[in-house]
Structure 1
Amino acid sequence: MNEQRDNVPGQAPEQGEDALDRILQQWAECRPELDAWSMGMMGRLFRAARLVERGVVGYLAEEGMERWEFDVLATLRRSGPPYALSPKALAATMMIKPPALTHRVDRLVERGLVDRELDPTNRRRMVISLTPEGFELLDSAVEGHVLNGERLFSALDRGEQEQLSHLMRKLLLSLGDAAPPRAD
């Protein structure tokens, strides 16, 4: 029997039952010879990803942005001055296909958050850049985004967060997820 401690704000109860415990118990009852442990890992990973995404999407909606808008603006912002990238570099950095990027950029141009202009160093190519409004919106939202992330992972102490991050990186790399090549 697990001991329960008082639920302190920002901390999860110690190892209570989650939805996957019941599912795994059902498998154990109907197929006792089946080691369904990996199903629990996958299910927890999927559920955690959905719940974290819900928390991120909810915060960004309060800031007047969709997740994809934040992703484009953040990619441009972290590229450093002049906060501009070619469509090819932006798509590669975001790991999306150029047609999807074109639609996203069109919508951000309509909102006045990015500009699409000819590259002053190479008139044959375009660059996407943050407008002052896009820069301001992103810089305001990113601080709250970081705080929201801290809230979402607050059930884990910093050491546990670092351990989880390390283990997720190890898993992702083993599954073939590597950093995209630099698109300068």
Structure 2
Amino acid sequence: MQDPRSDEVDLLIDAWAGQLPEIDFSPLDVMSRLRRISLQLNSIRATAFRSADLAIWEFDVLAALRRSGEPFRMSPAQLVRVTMVTSGTLTNRLDLLEERALVERRKNPVDGRGVLVCMTEVGRELVDRAMLALVAHEEEQLAPLSQQERAQLIELLRRLGSAIHLDQPA
């Protein structure tokens, strides 16, 4: 009889342990759960953003502008840095956001050759609505954890995140 506390990851590890009993699969116990949670989180976020009529990438750009504070504008170079996309990708995204009247490109008053990307009022309303939906959806998912458990999880994930090296082979 299967342990009622076991999940798909437990079954996966048990199957591997049966094939390679000399291996310690405890890293998979953590990382496989994180991966599955990450995939679920992507779906939760997409649902929250869709409720505000935004795609994930639209939210990313608008959220960067919103976090910058009044007057909600940044240079394209700043947006490339904070959204972690290429300049070509950002240009395409800005074109599409501009078509939806969520951002405007304006001349930079300090550097006449430069451009600033400014969020419109409609863009601000949508990104705020998306953020409120996201927080509500994520709060719902975290409901089983106490505030103390959340604080502990935050600290553990912070430590793990700072220890993970992205430049190592997968």
User: Is TM > 0.5 for Structure 1 vs Structure 2?
Assistant: yes
Output aligned runs, 1:37-48, within 5 Å: 37-48=26-37
* Correspondence for 2:143 among 146, 154, 171: 154
Counterpart contact for 1:55–1:152, Cα < 8 Å: no
1:38 to partner: Cα distance: 0.9
Q: Does 1:97 align with 2:86?
A: yes
Structure 2 unaligned blocks of 5 or more: none
Aligned residue pairs, count: 166
1:163 aligns with 2:163: no
The one-character-per-residue Cα deviations of 1:33-92 (angstroms, maximum 9, x if unpaired) are 111111222211111100111111112112211111111111101100110000001111
Following superposition, the deviation at residue 176 of structure 1 comes to 4.7
Q: 1:143: which partner in 2? A: 132
Q: Which residue does 2:77 correspond to in 1?
A: 88
Measure the CA separation in 1 of the matches of 2:56 and 2:158. Answer: 22
Structure 1 residue identity aligned to 2:34:
L
Residue type at the aligned position of 1:174? A
Residue 77 of structure 1 corresponds to which residue in structure 2? Answer: 66
Match of residue 121 from structure 1: 110
Q: Which whole-Å CA distance do the structure 1 matches of 2:164 and 2:24 have between them?
A: 22
Report deviation, 1:149.
1.5
1:64 aligns with 2:35: no
| Counterpart Cα distance in 2 of 1:78 and 1:145 | 15
Which deviates the most, 123-132 or 140-149?
140-149
Structure 1 residues 83-92 or 37-46, which shifts more?
37-46
Per the TM alignment, residue 94 of structure 1 is displaced from its structure 2 partner at its CA by 1.8
Q: Retained in 1: the 8 A contact 2:51–2:133?
A: no
Identity %: 34
CA RMSD of aligned residues (A): 1.9
- Measure the CA separation in 2 of the matches of 1:72 and 1:160: 32
How far apart in 1 are the matches of 2:20 and 2:165?
32
2:58 counterpart letter in structure 1: E
Kindly indicate whether the alpha-carbon contact (under 8 Å) linking 2:103 and 2:117 is maintained by their aligned counterparts in 1.
yes
CA contact (8 A) 2:105 2:118 kept: yes
Distance 2:31 2:3 in 1: 26
Output the CA distance in 1 between the equivalents of 2:9 and 2:104.
46
Give the direction of change, closer, same or farther, for the CA distance of 1:19–1:176 in structure 2 (3 Å limit). Answer: same
What is the rounded CA distance, in whole Å, between the counterparts of 2:126 and 2:67 in structure 1? 14
**Structure 1 unaligned blocks of 5 or more:** 5-15, 178-184
SS at match of 1:123: coil
Q: Which amino acid is 1:17 matched to?
A: S
TM-score (norm 1): 0.83
